[in-house]
Amino acid sequence: MILLDGKKTSLKILEEVKKRVAELSRTPHLVVILVGDNVASRIYVNNKKKAAEKVGIKSTIIEFASDITETDLLNKISELNNDNDITGILVQLPLPEHINRSKIISAISPKKDVDGFNPENVGRLAVGMEPYFYPATPQGIIMLLDEYGIKIEGKNAVVIGRSNIVGKPMAQMLLKRNATVTICHSFTQDLDNKIKTADIVVSAVGKKIVRCKMGNKNSVLIDVGIFRDSNGKLTGDIDFDFVSPDCKYITPVPGGVGPMTIASLMYNASKIY
């Protein structure tokens, strides 16, 4: 069993991004919008800012109180869209209840939408065109697979979870790389059987859901889930101790997909359209 070291790989990618940024004719400028005072969101936003600084990307955090109106937020985005100095815009999720998330994400210019969640980028990915930006988490996972020389073409990939942030774009990206993709979710019957026979499993659920005896000893297991167990310890979707002896590659939690996501986001933020 080989650990897919997301920490190490992310540092390598950040190093590459740093070089790339240094060679650009102008400095990319990422604006991160934070609405309200969600503690976790604030940590994520600060981590993004720190990562950006490390690779030489200028970053600005714009904070709004949780009672900002949708119109005011839309106006701010429109202003940033039209500001040539700003090359990337990211709205940290979740947003307060009274703000329509789809509306906000749709308002970001597709060419500055570093999260890749804007319908135009989603649509481009869905029809097999090149989006301006791929969503960070699935892109980071593909980078990790590539780093370890893991073949995707022709493989049976099982994606567990169908969120717009991970599961769905992951399925699209694996399909683009010519995997045979099965999308599983809460209505899936006989999930264990699907996991057991897969070549590549990507689990993005947030529950300890992968705990079967693997039938395919060459399988690659990617754990996107990250949460605290009843003892307060960080853990993922995959029962690592039980499953890892019977697979070929597996990501640790933490230190797997998490650092790859941020490196992948910085890769996006270094692009200027």
Q: Which two tokens stand for residue 33?
A: 């919008």
Judged by CB under 8 A, the stretch of 12-20, 140-148, 166-174, 212-220 that binds a copy of itself is 166-174
139 catalytic? Reply is: no
Rg of the chain over Cα atoms, rounded to whole angstroms, equals 19
Question: From the candidates 5, 113, 115, 199, which is the catalytic residue?
Answer: 115
- Contact between 91 and a copy of itself by CB under 8 A: the answer reads no
Judged by CB under 8 A, the stretch of 49-57, 78-86, 187-195, 245-253 that binds a copy of itself is 187-195
CB of 127 to a copy of itself, least distance (A): 5
223 catalytic? Reply is: no
Residue with smaller CB distance to a copy of itself, 65 or 127: 127
Residue with smaller CB distance to a copy of itself, 194 or 208: 194
CB of 213 to a copy of itself, least distance (A): 20
Report which residue type is found at 251: T
- Residue 242 CB neighbours (<10 A): 14
Judged by CB under 8 A, the stretch of 29-37, 168-176, 206-214, 240-248 that binds a copy of itself is 168-176
- Cα(100)–Cα(135) distance, rounded to whole angstroms? 20
- Contact between 111 and a copy of itself by CB under 8 A: the answer reads no
- Contact between 112 and a copy of itself by CB under 8 A: the answer reads no
- Contact between 94 and a copy of itself by CB under 8 A: the answer reads no
Question: From the candidates 92, 172, 199, 237, which is the catalytic residue?
Answer: 92
User: Which residues are bridge partners to 238 per DSSP?
Assistant: 210
58 catalytic? Reply is: no
Residue with smaller CB distance to a copy of itself, 75 or 102: 102
Q: Which two tokens stand for residue 114?
A: 């570093």
- Contact between 93 and a copy of itself by CB under 8 A: the answer reads no
CB of 185 to a copy of itself, least distance (A): 7
Work out which of 183, 222, 263, 269 binds a copy of itself, going by CB under 8 A. 183
How far is the CA of 83 from the CAs of 101, 111, 200, in angstroms? 22, 12, 42
Work out which of 30, 32, 184, 202 binds a copy of itself, going by CB under 8 A. 184
Work out which of 69, 102, 146, 273 binds a copy of itself, going by CB under 8 A. 102
CB of 146 to a copy of itself, least distance (A): 17
| Active site residues per annotation | 48, 92, 115
Binding interface with a copy of itself (CB under 8 A): 102, 119-120, 122-129, 153-154, 156, 162, 164, 168, 171-172, 175, 178-185, 187-189, 194
